[in-house]
Every structure is written in structure tokens, then in C-alpha cells.
Structure 1
């Protein structure tokens, strides 16, 4: 056998890439996105073990949540995009009904009524609306010419405002902010004229005083005032921010070491396993550990935005872009509030903070993105 015969029998790099693409197409998955999510998940469990007082039980419970979340992601990834578009109105209506039930028969904790409990299983319906709202608005715009006309913009605003108001009444300002962000991002990416954006910004400025007077609760006002001067109430409203900034600063460049953080291990840092977990990460792994996590987040966002840009229709493009930017808002708000740049609004760090419903919702969103990516590859292949 000659060298030329041997070389001809070797598979080319393009053949390997096509084979991998066929496997991804058959499984309806994005292997790069799954790899990035898995790394963040493992990293989050390592940090959570320290933040949760080295509780094996807590890690096992969170591990079960992640298993359920990954199963949900794989299952949703198999759903064709046109099915998502068809069920959008029903998903939105069902979520709105659940939000009403929360206000009526919901389970309360720490002064908030945000959960429903059935047969010993407790879940937070507001998390579901982070997906239902952008899916419904994207489906509405996907059937119309873009950029949207004024009446269509008003419909989208109503679809966003109804669940946001119901969630804010629980009260849960953080989730209401994320739901609003998801709806507004669909509007923005639909080609909304800049004059509408200017009007919306002006309306927001004008509504600041009425919201302060009649909408915000006393504890929410204290959080905003604490942001401006946390030292004014060191042992009260300012305690969380002061301890969080102390933990972040004491970590330095490389951190004190895993399980060696003083603020978290000695319980100076409240909610270290949920909203303020990045302060635990910064104290024990330092600036380098935080940058590593933020880099992973950035790669996930870039991958998801690439899926959005290559989508074949308006519905897929608007939905994928909205889910991606909502994930960015998750990260931005959490890091901003923990570092003292934004008021504390109760937004967990995605895939790192302890939680069940939030994790399942996030991974379901990534499953939708994979379904959109698979739809793009299938259309391209048939062409």
C-alpha cells in the first residue's frame, strides 16, 4: 500500500466536524454549551459546599435539583420550535393563574408569600414566568411584521406588566425585575424605534417619585437608602453589604483558600449560600476565582447570542436573544448588589446559589436555546 493510499483513507477534519454535527443534530444538544454549563455547575457546588457550612445534605439536595434541571434541559431541547410557539399563550395563561393562586393560597416565608405547595412539593411560580413571558411576546411578534406598530408594543407591555405586578405584590422585586427585563428585551430586539425607547426612559424618570411613595415597601426603601450610605445602619440594613464588601476585599488576588473564609465560616455573612454566595467565592478564591466564573458566564452568553444571531425566524431570534440577555441581567444584578453597586433585590447567582426552582428554570431556558440551535442546523442541512 502506498503512502497516498494510506493518506486517502484517513478521515479529514471536516468529516469529523460533520460527524459531530450529526450527533448533536440527532440528540438536539449543543455540546459546547453543555460543557460550559457543567463546569459552572461543578464550580458552583464546590463553592456552595463551603458557603452552606460544609453540609453534605445541602450539597446532595442541590445535586438532586441539578439532576432534575439537566433532565428538564434535555427534554425541552427535544421540543420543536413550532411547538413552543403554539403553546406560548397557554403557558402564559397558566403561569398567570398560578401567580394569582400565590396571592390567594400561597405559602409564606420571611415576610413574603411566593410559593405554592402541593403534596409536600413546594415551588415558586414566578420563576416559570421568566420563560413564559418572553415566549409569549416572541410568539406574538413572530406572527407580525417588524418593527412592531404602537398597538403591538402596547400589547407586549401589558403582557409584561401583568405578571410583573403580581410578582411585585408577593413581594419579590428581584424576580419582578427579571421578568420585566425578559419582556422588554423581546421588545428591544424586535427593532423598537428609538423614539419609543426615549419615551419609555422619560416615563421611568417621571414615575420614580410615585413608585417611591406608593409602590415600594419600607424594607425596599431601606435597601435603596442603604446603598447610598451603608454605614448609617451598620448593625441593621447595612450589615449585609458591609460584610459582603469585607469578604470580597479580604480575599485579595488568590483568596484565603477553600473552606478558609472567615466571614462565611464564622457566619458574619448572611445569606452566603444564596444571594451573597459570590462574596464567599471572592473571599476563598480571590479575584482570580471570580474572574474565572465571570469568564465562564461570558462564554455562555457569547454562545447563546451566536445561536440567536443564526436563528432562522423572528420567533426564534427574539426568544433566544431575550433568554440570553435575561441570563446576563441575572449575573449583572447579583454581582452589582453584592459589591454594593446596586440595591439588594434578592437575585441569586445563576447555577451557583442554592435553589431548586430557579435552577430548573434556568436550565429549561438553555434547553429552549438548544432546540432553537438544532432547528437552525436542521434547516441549513435540508437547504
Structure 2
């Protein structure tokens, strides 16, 4: 995490609370290489943590007060107490992500004390790179570090953060974003089994670049069709009599479709095929086979566009530009919840400048904006910087 971010958080802390912080913690955002919307279907995903995230400057208090200043929101301060009901503010308000995590930390029975926190982040918001999960996991890490909760594992922090997002913020997300933010490994993608929460580090080839391009089409998951897709997946699982679509293969999907609604069938087909693509991609990436990886990423994008219907015309165009510029030695696809946001591309590092130039010359959003390019590194998960 950058020194600049640490400086921003420290300055905000000192200005708001009048003393230097005792600790600094961080949690990264993530980009999902493949495996979209499979997480809440008990399936497989292949994300990596990235070197953009949330940094928190923090000090412990001896009372039950939690004070939080957000450097990215005009140094706005939120304050609440641990010995009173913790309630959400207006929908979409940034304090909800903090309050929700603290509420569910309390529910674990851990002996929480108050804290002063200053938040600073550099994950592009509304881009599908998990700025919210990064913030949630960083808050859990701050309390773990301040109070020495050694029993609070990275997976525990991810589950608490997910609960906050589901029940307090109101977005019915799966576990992927929070788990890779908590458990990411430098230099590797992370194959996650979203049923068992088992993870396997998949080393990234040393000469491969991860490029993320923001389409400048903003998206908002809570108000989008994300929850609708989840309900459709649950309806399909019920039709087939399985716990989740993870338990279905393509042959049975087609053979037993019966009178299943055609749209629900397409949604299920995306999940079933995407699970297999994700497992195949982990093998390809570990072998350094970028050609196979590119083919799997292309098939994933087509499935998201046609079966799951979560892309947008501008994003489709951006992915096409990336795929053409990269050629057969890598690939690109939409990444994130959909309805805008980012594309992710894998390519040999030697191609980065040519691909960046192709995006600059050929892509504009519906409002005329150029795409924003980020070249990322697979990074370590949450931890203390002290």
C-alpha cells in the first residue's frame, strides 16, 4: 500500500483527533480474473488482491466510543457507541460499512473497546474492484490489531465483513471479495471454493501483467439487478433439487430443464459453465498457458453478455478492443458484478504500452470519457503496517 495513502490517513487522523495514530492497517481491493457470480452459488472464483486498497490509521480508546474520519469524504466524521444499538444511516452512506463490521464483531462476543479511525483509500469506487470489501476487511483488521485478537482469523474477518455487507448495507454479495481481501497472496491469484472457503494460491507467471480498464460506466450493486440474478439462481437450484448450482453439470442442466423459465435457464447455464471455466483457468494459469487463459476469459465474457446479461454495450466494446490488441497470447473480459465497471486483461508485460495506446485511441464511454487504465500487481491480503 502506498506511502502517499499512509500520509493522507495520518494527516486526517491528526487533524480530527489531535494526536498521532498508534497503528496503521491495510486491506486490498481485488480483481476477479474469472468466475463471475459463481460465489453465491457455492462455486469457484479466481481473483487476486491488488495493490490498491484501504488504509486505516488507528488508535485504541479506553471507553465505548468509536470515532471515524473519512479522508476521501471531506474529512467527514461519524461517531457511535459500542454500548448502544448500532444503526445504519441513510442507504449508501459510507459509515454503514464501518458500523456494520463493528456490529458483527460485537456479536462474536469479542471484548471490543472504542477506537479512533481515519480511513483513506485508492480503490476506484463503483468500478467492480471491491472498494467496499476492502474497507470492511480493513475495519476488522484495525480492531484485531488494536486489541490483539489473535483468535480472529483472516477467514473470520472475511465472514464478518460479508455479513455487514449482506445484512447492514443491503447488498447480497457472496464471500469472494472479502475473502481475497483478507487472504490474498503476493504474486498469486487465489482459487476459492466458495462452499468450503478453502483457498489455493495459483502462482502468476512472472512476465504477465494484470491490466484493469475502467469503462467509466458507473454501476451501483445495491440498486442494480444483482439481487435479481441471485433470486433467479436460487429458483434454478430449487427446480433441479440441488443445494446450489455448484452441484449441477451441463448435461443435467439441459436434460432436466423441463418447464423451467427460459431466462432462469440461461442464468443457470452461465453459472454451471463458468464454474468449469474457473477450474480450467486455474490449471492454465499455473502452467503459464496464456493462450488457454485468453480463450477461457473470452468464453466467460460471452456467457456474461448473453446468458447472464450483466454486461453493457460500452463494456462489450472495451473488451473487444482489448482482445484485439492483445491477440492470442492473453485475454480480456468484464470483471465485477456487472452493469458497467471494469474489464480485466492478462497479457505479457511487453504488450502493456501497445494495449494502453489502443484503449486510449479507440475507446470512449457513452458520455465521451476515455477509459482509465490501471496496471496491477497480485498483492498480499489484509494486515498491519505497524
The answer, yes or no, to whether TM exceeds 0.5 is no
Max Rg structure: 1
TM-score of the superposition, structure 1-length normalised?
0.29
**Higher percent of residues as helix:** 1
> Greater strand percent: which structure?
2
